[in-house]
Each structure stands twice: as C-alpha cells, then as structure tokens.
Amino acid sequence: MKKVDFLNRKVATKNGRFRTRLKCNFSLVIICFIWATVFCSCSRNSGNTNKKSFTWDSISSLEKELFGKKYFIEELKMPSRLLYKNDKLLIIESAPRDSFVHVLDWNSLEYLFLTGAVGYGPGEMPKAWNLEGGTDPNTFWVHSLEGKLFSEYGLENVNDTKALTQVRQKEAFYLAMGITWASDSTFMTFLARGENKFVEFNIDGARLKGYGMWKGLVPGDFEDHVIADLHQGKLMGDPIAGKFIKASILRGHLEILDKKSGEIIEINGPENAIPEFQAINAGAVITSDHPLAYMDAFLGKDHVFGLYSGKTDSEIMAQGRGETNLFVFDLLGNIKTVFKLNTPIKSFTVDEERQRIFGITTDIDPGVVVFDFNL
C-alpha cells in the first residue's frame, strides 16, 4: 500500500498525442512548422530549471523555536485545512453537516459564520478539499476533488451558504487534481497523467500551456504518470505575482514556478534521497519505510513555507501525527530559517504582513494554534 493516499483514487486515462504526416513538399513543411510553433506551444516545455539542495547539517544554525497559543473553537469538529485572507481565517471541516467552511476573525479568533452548502445541487458541493484565495479581495474559493468543482464564496456573511460562482471541471481539465488561480481567467494545475509538472487551463477547460517536464526527475526510464505520482502534494499560487509552488509529500522536493519566465526552481532536502518504489499502471507504490516530507505548504509575497514531517510510517505509529518543523525559503529557493514549533500541527496558513502562523492542532480536541514570528 502507498504511504499516503493523497488523491484517494487514481484517474487513469491515455494522453492523446498530436501526430502529423508531412509530404516531401517544402512549402507544406514550412506551413506546418509555423502552425505548430504558434498554436501548439501548450504541449512544449517552457523555461529552464534551477536546482538547489540542503541537508540537516547545513541548516542546524538556522533553527528558531516558536511557542504558540492554542484556541479551542467549539464549532470545530474535524478541521483539516485553513487559509488566511483579508483579516479572516477560513477553516474547512472534514465532517460537515450542512456547510463545510468556518469563518473566524483573524485576531481574536472569534467565530463569525459558517458557509459552503453541502450537497449536489446548484451552488452546493459534496466535499471540500482545499481553499484558495483567488483574485477578488472580497471572496475565496474552495476546490472539491470529489465533485470536480471550484466554488466561490464571500468573506462577509449574507445568510446564504451557497456558492456565488462555480466552475466545473470538464474534458482535459477533469484530470486536474490540484487547482489554483493563475490569473483572473485561468487556472494552474497538476494532472493525474501528462508530461508536464504544471499545466495551465482557461475557465472553459481548454489547455493553454505546460511548464516543466517529469522526465529525468528520478533515475530510470519511468512513465510520466509514475514520476508525477511520486511527487504528489500541495499546489498553491499567487496569480498577481505569477508565482506557484508544488510541495511533495513522499520526498523532500519543493518547486517554485515563475510563470512569466517559465523558470522552475527545484529545492531538494533535507533528506536528499528518493524512496524505493514500484511502478504500476496506476502510479508509484512506495516499498520502503521512507520519511514523509511536506505535509502542507504556503506561498507568501516574500517567502515559501513548508511543513516538513521527516517521520516514517513506523515513527508516526509510535509518535502520532503532527509536524513541528517549518522550513522557510525565499522566492529564489534559498532556505532562510527553520521554525521549531512547540505544538504539532497538520496544516497551516500565514499572515505574512503581521508575521503570524495559524495551524490546526492534532490533539484529541483539535483547535487553532497561533505562532508569532520575526523574519
């Protein structure tokens, strides 16, 4: 069995390949070359890759202890992910009844209201997977992996828990497992199958462009979907800055994409090793007790934060879940500090301006723990 069932199920499909037979006619060759260059750029790799790495020894002097304050919120039953936006703290409920997003005041953590109607009807979603800020300062978005829906909700209580807007995944866009806004009309994603690490779609589901290639990321001749499965994890973007991150759960590997230049910065560490795995049609099956890596990640204006585990399955069984190592990088991929948290958390979000971290605790009565930091 795989160490982490991140996607719950695999989507298996064959990638279509565009092939054209050219006759020995010079003018036809030129026309086809121009057509492919202008209209098929979406299938080619863009930019280059800059690789960086670090080890535990190289960052030992960067460690800083952070002591948090826990808040118990009675309305939270099984909180999973959270997001800070415009003085609101948004928290997804894993086992909701009628609605699945709690909205709290960022400072006092006072409970404000509940939104996000559960269901399969118009404006409803069957299950919430992840939170996104979007481009509108007054709204936020929720992705439903099960429902293949992306739904928008307001940051103010209007006594209506249904979505303001919904985007349904269809055609090639249906294969997108992680979704974040790339602009006010496009999405950046990663796919269950495909040769590119990042793929951009418009809101109508048309594929626009791919960034980075899976080939060569691990030694050996493996199918693209096997390598992609080995690097499953958290995707987050800043559509205004054109920056995106992908943090891998199964190995210490984090990537920063600059959409404008197409450059991808790969950061490997602190365990610079690839877990032993077996390639199957559905993906990669981990066959060794290898340390888990980034359980959550956050992209800020100036920094990238990665919640690192470093624990194997056997260690998790003995010590329990929850992570205390939070790596902080600049946008060039240089590690700046390692926050050692006194309270284990399973997910987090950051108010970078006020330098505050909000995390979901893993104890028997889960709540929100707040850490103040100084960078």
Structural domains in the chain, CATH included, are 49-372 (2.120.10.30)
pLDDT for 97: 87
pLDDT for 47: 60
User: With bands split at pLDDT 50, 70 and 90, how would you rate the model's confidence at 13?
Assistant: very low
Least confident of 38-52, 84-98, 139-153, 336-350: 38-52
Q: Are 308 and 323 in contact (CB under 8 A)?
A: yes
Residue 27 pLDDT > 50 = no
Least confident of 8-12, 159-163, 318-322: 8-12
* Model confidence, pTM: 0.87
Question: At CB < 8 A and 24+ separation, what contacts does 101-105 make?
Answer: 101/128, 101/131, 101/142, 101/153, 102/73, 102/75, 102/76, 103/155, 103/157, 104/73, 104/368
pLDDT for 25: 37
Average pLDDT over residues 298-316: 96
pLDDT for 6: 38
The residue whose two tokens read 């301006």 is 353
pLDDT for 48: 84
Residue 82 pLDDT > 80 = yes
- The share of the chain scoring above pLDDT 70, in percent, equals 87
Select from 83, 118, 79, 72 the least CA-distant residue to 98. Answer: 118
**CB-based burial label for 20 (10 Å; 0-12, 13-18, 19+):** exposed
Least confident of 64-68, 235-239, 314-318: 314-318
Question: What tens digit of pLDDT does each residue of 59-76 get?
Answer: 999 999 999 999 999 999
pLDDT for 258: 97
Average pLDDT over residues 130-157: 95
Average pLDDT over residues 85-111: 95
Residue 77 pLDDT > 70 = yes
Average pLDDT over residues 307-331: 95
pLDDT for 328: 98
Question: What tens digit of pLDDT does each residue of 268-301 get?
Answer: 999 999 999 999 998 999 998 999 999 999 999 9
Residue 18 pLDDT > 70 = no
Average pLDDT over residues 37-43: 37
Q: What is the mean pLDDT of the chain?
A: 88
DSSP conformation letters of 52-115? EE--HHHHGGGEEEE--EEE--TT-SSEEEEEEETTEEEEEESS-SSEEEEEEETTT--EEEEE
pLDDT for 26: 35
Residue 96 pLDDT > 90 = no
pLDDT for 138: 97
pLDDT for 30: 31
User: With bands split at pLDDT 50, 70 and 90, how would you rate the model's confidence at 2?
Assistant: very low
